[in-house]
Amino acid sequence: MNPMTQEVTAARRRPRSRRRPRVSQPPPPQQPVPPREPPESPPATAREVAATPERPRRRRRGRRRPVTEARPPEAEPALPGVRFAHPSEAEFARILDFYGLQWQYEPRTFPLRWEHGQVTEAFTPDFYLPDLNLYLEVTTLRSGLASDKNRKIRLVQELYPEVNIKLLKKRDLLRLLTKYGYGPLAPEEVPDVDRILISTPRLQQRVAELGSQISRDYAGKEPVLVGILRGVLCFMADLIRHITLPVTMDLMAVSTYEGDAAGSVKILKDLDENLKGRDVLLVEDIVDTGMTLHHVLDYLWSKKPASLKVCTLLDKRARRLIEVDIAYTGFEIPDEFVVGYGLDFRQRYRNLPFIAVLKHELLP
């Protein structure tokens, strides 16, 4: 099964977060803005335009990613597959997927010219990127077509000044994604990475939300955040900056099973703070089987805190062996090995600013 099909299947089975409907909804209502020089006839509506023969209508939507922010589930309709008019569009979609950016394929048509109440010319950009509120027209190198597209894009900008639209080549797209924080690395520069699962902007937004939620829940208290080294480094550093209460922090390191481990989890670096009577928030990068967390929680309870809760950036729930109570979850992710934003594969890739899926063939 190819990875795309696999992901769509996973997405359909998963509960939908409140933010995600943005992916499948058409962009904001389309009110054609009157041209500066009034047309001979009033502008047609987008629906009338859709019936014009200028270009075959394909209202397809970008696939959804299986990552969900930990929010209440809603019903989810099945999605149709996407048929691209041109191979370069399919490649663009793969790049957008690689960078974890949501997209819709040809969701809107812009009327450009009217005669006797009929639309005589219209333009349908290839992609809409809801995260960036940006329409993209993909171009290959053939200059004749590019100049016609350029003319149409200029017209769209003139007639619909509120619309953000760009004509792009592949190279320009990679540069644009870097600018918006969906990089910074081109796919070929991260050879072990299959695709980006959670982009930098999504990580940052979610970490900020968790920080606000924790600040509200612990109002009037002075919690101590306990992080487990080393994977938690990036998450914890960002999270504490979104907590608007007096907080203290401490760090622990524990051994993980490496194939030959005799006995159980060992504490490699102990706490420096006294947790007795404190409100403790244990911060984790990822909860997988739950074994590490289970062991660490036992240890922390033995320190007699007033309260003890868990905050994890990632939850690989499908692999859980020991049930643990998690108060705050950043993202539920599928059963994939992920790296970046503190998480490693053989100590590498902790410095990636996003969460990426490691290529399957690298895993034992």
Residues involved in catalysis: 288
Q: How many CB atoms lie within 10 A of CB 246?
A: 9
The listed partner (Mg ion, ligand IMP, none) that binds 194, CB under 5 to 8 Å by sort, is: none
Among 307, 266, 311, which Cα is nearest to 284's? Answer: 311
Of 67-75, 76-84, 258-266, 281-289, the window that binds Mg ion (rule: CB under 5 A) is 281-289
Element housing 94 (H / E) = helix 87-98
The listed partner (Mg ion, ligand IMP, none) that binds 89, CB under 5 to 8 Å by sort, is: none
| Residue 43 contacts Mg ion per CB under 5 A | no
Element housing 87 (H / E) = helix 87-98
The listed partner (ligand IMP, Mg ion, none) that binds 32, CB under 5 to 8 Å by sort, is: none
Please state the closest distance from residue 202 (CB atom) to Mg ion, in A: 21
Please state the closest distance from residue 98 (CB atom) to ligand IMP, in A: 18
The listed partner (ligand IMP, Mg ion, none) that binds 251, CB under 5 to 8 Å by sort, is: none
The listed partner (ligand IMP, Mg ion, none) that binds 102, CB under 5 to 8 Å by sort, is: none
Q: How many CB atoms lie within 10 A of CB 52?
A: 16
Residue with the shortest CB distance to Mg ion: 231
Cα-based torsion angle of the residue sequence 59, 12, 205, 315 in order, rounded to the nearest 10 degrees: -160
Residue number with CB closer to ligand IMP (148 or 335): 335
> Taking the mean position of all CA atoms in its chain, how far away is CA 10?
15
- Determine the size of the site formed for Mg ion (CB under 5 A): 2
Among 118, 113, 126, which Cα is nearest to 159's? Answer: 113
Residue number with CB closer to ligand IMP (175 or 319): 319
Burial class for 144, CB neighbours closer than 10 Å (0-12, 13-18, 19+): exposed
Question: Cβ(160)–Cβ(152) under 8 Å?
Answer: no
Cα-based torsion angle of the residue sequence 223, 250, 341, 12 in order, rounded to the nearest 10 degrees: -50
CA distances from 68 to 88, 309, 328, 334 (A): 29, 21, 13, 9
Residue number with CB closer to ligand IMP (43 or 231): 231
Residues that bind ligand IMP (CB under 6 A): 231, 256, 284-293, 337-339, 343
- Alpha-carbon span 343 to 355, nearest angstrom: 8
The listed partner (Mg ion, ligand IMP, none) that binds 289, CB under 5 to 8 Å by sort, is: ligand IMP
Residue number with CB closer to Mg ion (101 or 338): 338
Please state the closest distance from residue 357 (CB atom) to ligand IMP, in A: 9
- Alpha-carbon span 331 to 207, nearest angstrom: 10
Residue number with CB closer to Mg ion (126 or 288): 288
Overall size of the chain counted in residues: 364
**DSSP sequence for 244-260:** -S--EEEEEEE----SS
Please state the closest distance from residue 285 (CB atom) to Mg ion, in A: 5
Please state the closest distance from residue 254 (CB atom) to Mg ion, in A: 8
Residue from 62, 130, 223, 231 in contact with Mg ion (CB under 5 A):
231
As given in the structure block, the two tokens for residue 104 are 């819709």
Please state the closest distance from residue 257 (CB atom) to Mg ion, in A: 12
Q: How many CB atoms lie within 10 A of CB 281?
A: 25
Place of tokens 């299986």: 66
Residue number with CB closer to Mg ion (231 or 353): 231
Of 38-46, 146-154, 280-288, 322-330, the window that binds Mg ion (rule: CB under 5 A) is 280-288
The listed partner (Mg ion, ligand IMP, none) that binds 290, CB under 5 to 8 Å by sort, is: ligand IMP
Please state the closest distance from residue 255 (CB atom) to ligand IMP, in A: 11
Q: Site residues (CB under 5 A) for Mg ion? A: 231, 285
